[in-house]
Amino acid sequence: MGTSFDLTGKVIVVTGGSRGLGLAMAHAFAEHGADLVIASRKASACEHVAAEIRERYERRAVAVPFHAGNWDDCGRLLDTTYAELGKLDVLVNNAGMSPPYPSLGAISEELWDKVIAVNMKGPFRLAVLAAERMVETGGGSIINVSSVGAMQPTVGELPYAMAKSALHTMAAGMAHSFGGRVRINVLMPGAFLTDISKAWPAAMRAEMERQIPMGRCGEPEDIVGAALYLASDASAYTSGAVIKIDGGWAYRAG
């Protein structure tokens, strides 16, 4: 039997969907037939992307301002999704943040709480609420976007890396909790050329690319194939998995 990346008739929520990897995935989902909810903090950015999707792909697209670290916002996002589009088939927990700090000892409690809230607390709450609703309507797929830092953390992103590694644990546990009814998986991207990369010093990027066996950082479109796989019925027997998208970087020692 063949498999298909066809998403016709599916409703997909993408947090952090207004830019970077979230934006690339949202466009790919719409191109393959899905209706979208674009959720991120800035309402204007969400609406810009939603309008572009409606015009370019003639799909339904709803913009929802959303704070990924706010416990109550998770329920509101899902309520809006069901009210506007009637159901939810796929959730992409993509929103994240990793503010800089001068040293581990200089990390403030405020920074720590923000990073954990956006990268772990909110994704957990949203995934659980979404899975419970998906079970009632026949099942679905949840895609958590992690980071290669979860496996190869550096001193400059340790709270972020710790939170992202928790998404792996969450996927494994939830895959058992919801059995075959809701599939919960993880995408683990490496160094990607999104908006944040514009601030990288040239020497830093060169050093990263030297360490990547494929010799380059990823482009946002490089995540699309794996995202389509996990969102579609092509991954009907995949749950609790972590898919590395890093040009081979995560396999290098040191």
Closest CA to 34 of 61, 56, 15: 61
Could you tell me which residues are beta bridge partners of residue 79? none
Q: Where are the alpha helices (DSSP H) in 99-147?
A: 109-116, 122-136
- Summarised one tens digit per residue, pLDDT across range 160-210 is 999 999 999 999 999 999 977 999 999 998 777 666 655 656 666 666 766
CA dihedral of residues 161, 167, 173, 177 (deg, nearest 10)? 170
Between 41-55, 71-85, 147-161, 212-226, the lowest mean confidence (pLDDT) is in: 212-226
The residues near 82 (Cβ < 8 Å, ≥ 6 apart) are: 88, 133
3-state DSSP assignment of residue 19: coil
pTM across the whole model: 0.92
Ordered by where they begin, the domains of the chain are 11-240 (3.40.50.720)
HSE, side-chain direction, 13 A CA sphere, residue 170: 27
Q: Are 40 and 77 in contact (CB under 8 A)?
A: no
Q: Quote the distance between the C-alpha of residue 2 and its chain's center.
A: 27
3-state DSSP assignment of residue 194: coil
List residues with catalytic annotation.
160
